[in-house]
A and B are shown apart, each in its own frame.
Chain A
Amino acid sequence: DAKTTQPNSMESNEEEPVHLPCNHSTISGTDYIHWYRQLPSQGPEYVIHGLTSNVNNRMASLAIAEDRKSSTLILHRATLRDAAVYYCILRFSSGSARQLTFGSGTQLTVLP
């Protein structure tokens, strides 16, 4: 599986934007980039995913580099509830029911 690299931890101030980076230099042409997060004592939660173009939804935006070797999850206004571990995951586009392979993720701390 192609791997992703994320910083272990990041801090942000409440109500400020947060940019969470992810490197995936060995991504293949048909891998989707998925982001999930895990709040304390909860199951993982889907945030956003994309293939080539930037994506927006009600939770976040995903900016994908032109060469697709990196991406950035953008939380436009961090709240205390956004404190979580954020996982950047590549998901193959072929084959059977491909699982999500979770790494260590980025622990986001939001300061009041």
Chain B
Amino acid sequence: EPEVTQTPSHQVTQMGQEVILRCVPISNHLYFYWYRQILGQKVEFLVSFYNNEISEKSEIFDDQFSVERPDGSNFTLKIRSTKLEDSAMYFCASSVGRHNTEAFFGQGTRLTVV
């Protein structure tokens, strides 16, 4: 069964450093998403991406965050200068369509900012 893969599974970084979280969505999917989940809290939407541009973003997704689909297969989330409060599980998801299709989620990257 096709799946969304995320790397690394765990990333530890120092506060102020840049991190790039990587995702390989399912190959025929057109819509891509990043979500995060702080330990013990809800899954929160960060950004959606379609046709090589951001479709929607939440208020969490400020200027410190950026997304890119550099080569037609990878989908990356960059955090320019990490803060302690960025520590969370980051989930990538993809779907064929917008609202009437299922979203497939990866297993997540646990980001720990120290």
Interface residues of A (CB under 8 A from B): 32, 34, 36, 38, 42-46, 49, 51, 87, 91-104
Contacts and interface: CB of A to CB of B under 8 A. Distances in A.
Contact of A49 (B48, B102, B104, B106): B102
Interface of B: 31, 33, 35, 42-45, 48-50, 55-56, 58, 91, 93, 98-100, 102-108
A5 to B, nearest CB: 15
A30 to B, nearest CB: 9
A99 B106 CA distance: 16
Contacts, number: 71
Contacts of B100: 32, 49, 51, 91, 93
A97 B44 CA distance: 15
